Chain A
Amino acid sequence: MLRDTWLIFGRELRFSLRNPTWIVIQIMQPVLYLVLFGPLMEGIVASTPGFPPGDVWTIFTPALIVMIGFFGTAFVGFGLLADHRNGVFERLRVTPASRVALLLGKVGNNVLQAIVQAALLVGLAMLFFGLRAPLAGVLLSLLIAALLAATMASASYALALSLKSEHAFPALLNALLLPLLLLSGILLPITTGLAPDWLYALSRINPFSHIVEAERAAFRGDFTMDSLLTGSIVLLALAALTVFWGTRKFRRDDA
């Protein structure tokens, strides 16, 4: 199965590299947020009480890394629907290759892309905006981005296979992603100091807000149980669940 996963991973990676424009478009979104939105936050963070500790870049950069793992990966199911339409998916399913490997090879490529993009973003923030973060924190944040990408990619593939419609898939995805994004405090942190109680309560229910907070703690160099535990558990549980969902979908006889 490892060999099959590696082969599929290689195929997916070659596809990605063959379309560098697509990679640039994908990385542009978080970079634009960093450059065109980040500076606005600078004054707001300084003059408004209630923000989490740290300066604006240690608050905002980790949020953008979550965004890469979250948004950048959420739509990968489209590629699978294309494979399904042009018969590649079925062709691969008739080979003796492990069907789980068909999923994991794809997810592996998505994870790699998220890590590269996140590293690039951190580099930019450090070079041009004076972001200071401990190396261990940055590495941990990349690990979080990787797990998040694996989660979102698996979920995206599983959802695409459930719907098998190139119309329904983006519609449902958009309907799910926007509230999840807003309630995760990526753009403006949802803290007790800033948000009304009901909004804060809602954001607690959203698993992704805990992941954003863990990511921010990593950037501050705050490795205490208190700040990392919830986010890590939530992320590991989500990753395990979605990968399980994805493998189940890929294994099904009539997927």
Chain B
Amino acid sequence: MIKARGLARRFAARGRSVHAVDGIDIDVEEGELVGFLGPNGAGKTTTLRMLTTLLRPTQGEATVAGHDLLLDPAGVRRRIGYVAQGGATAPECPVADELELQGRLYGLSKNEARERGKTLVEQLDLGGLDRRPAGTLSGGQRRRLDIALGLIHRPGLVFFDEPTTGLDPQSRANLWEHIRRLRTEQDLTMFLTTHYLEEADSLCDRILVIDGGRIVAEGSPDALKAQVSGDGVVIGVEPQETTPTAEIVGVLDGASEVTVTGDLVRFRVPRGDLAMPELLRALDKAGIAMRSMQVHRPTLDDVFLSLTGRSLRDAEAKRATPGKEVAHVA
């Protein structure tokens, strides 16, 4: 459904050229749900805008839904649906009118567009809201309307840009359900960007991890997590005892990546549950009192950390650096 080679986009920012996307390859098979995971500013939206004909790549080539992105963008547009990040409706426009116009712009007749609109309104739990202006819908409802607009012409391939950003946890879970159901009911191939680990983890068959405009890893959520060796352990001790604690941890069987931050000592170990008793005994013998302990299975955040050397959440927090993506989305 998608085959991209060496796709790149440069922006001129304050006289110098910035690579927002730096030559990436993407392959998505029919029926797959692929997630594009990375911090804000990593190039996700830029890539998506290129694949949906909204932005011309400065380099590379791609075939999307059977049409060449550069030679036949109109062909691509006919076959894809796009659910943008910031919404896509005029607040004063009634739900049914937006759907009808959208359908007709894709070449449906007035009646076809209305029928299809009604079906989607029902499928996405928007029944009874047809005449309401889009601006009066709740955040979750509006996102579902955006999705209905993206599906009006029965596309085979749908792009979602950060589909649940700005939603509360309940609406988010609800939207995931809808996305899963639509996918099976309508036989869709889906490509979504997200910076939520949980979203990528629970929704996607396969994940492309992007950072700094390059794809740094690719695989199913489980396969990616398996790349990270073992469980993460965090133990808390008195600040003056972190150094001896780290030494004790260091000689533990199979322990790796030992780091100290504040009064916390972190490390990885193949089986956290089995390593704990031994560690407790060793600390006891050295007279060190453990104040807290945490063992967690590897998460996608650990994957991101081991790939890029920083946590996805940190990358998020540091995003203040004036950016590639920020410049053109505005």
**Interfacial residues, chain A to chain B (CB-CB below 8 A):** 4, 7, 10-11, 14-15, 18-19, 82-83, 85-88, 90-97, 164, 253-254
Contacts and interface: CB of A to CB of B under 8 A. Distances in A.
B107 interface: yes
A94 B89 contact: no
B78 interface: yes
Query: Which 5 A-B residue pairings sit nearest by Cβ, starting from the closest?
Result: A91-B88, A253-B56, A87-B88, A97-B105, A95-B105
B90 A96 contact: no
Interface in B75-117: 77-78, 80, 82, 84-93, 97, 101-102, 104-107
Nearest to A89: B88
B330 interface: yes
A91 B92 contact: no
B77 A253 contact: no
A93 B52 CA distance: 10
Interface of B: 52-56, 74, 77-78, 80, 82, 84-93, 97, 101-102, 104-107, 149, 328, 330
A90 B88 contact: yes
Contact of A86 (B80, B89, B107): B89
Q: Which among B56, B77, B88, B102 has the highest number of chain A CB atoms within 10 Å? A: B88
A85 B106 CA distance: 23
A88 B90 contact: yes
Given A88-B90, A91-B102, A96 B56 contact: no
A94 B82 contact: yes
B97 A14 contact: yes
Contacts of B74: 96
B104 A87 contact: no
A31 B291 CA distance: 80
Contacts of B77: 94-96
Contact of A93 (B54, B102, B106, B149): B54
B87 A15 contact: no
Contacts of A254: 54-56, 328
Nearest to A98: B74
Contacts of B87: 86-87
A167 to B, nearest CB: 12
B88 A7 contact: no
21 contacts: A7-B101, A7-B105, A10-B101, A11-B93, A11-B97, A11-B101, A86-B86, A86-B88, A87-B88, A88-B90, A91-B84, A91-B89, A94-B82, A95-B102, A96-B78, A96-B107, A97-B105, A164-B330, A253-B53, A253-B54, A254-B328
Nearest to B91: A86
B92 A18 contact: yes
B185 to A, nearest CB: 23
B91 A90 contact: no
B105 A88 contact: no
A164 B101 CA distance: 25
A60 B324 CA distance: 53
Contacts of A90: 54, 84, 88
B84 A87 contact: yes
A195 B88 CA distance: 52
Contacts of B80: 94
B90 A86 contact: yes
A76 to B, nearest CB: 15
Contact of B52 (A15, A86, A88, A94): A94
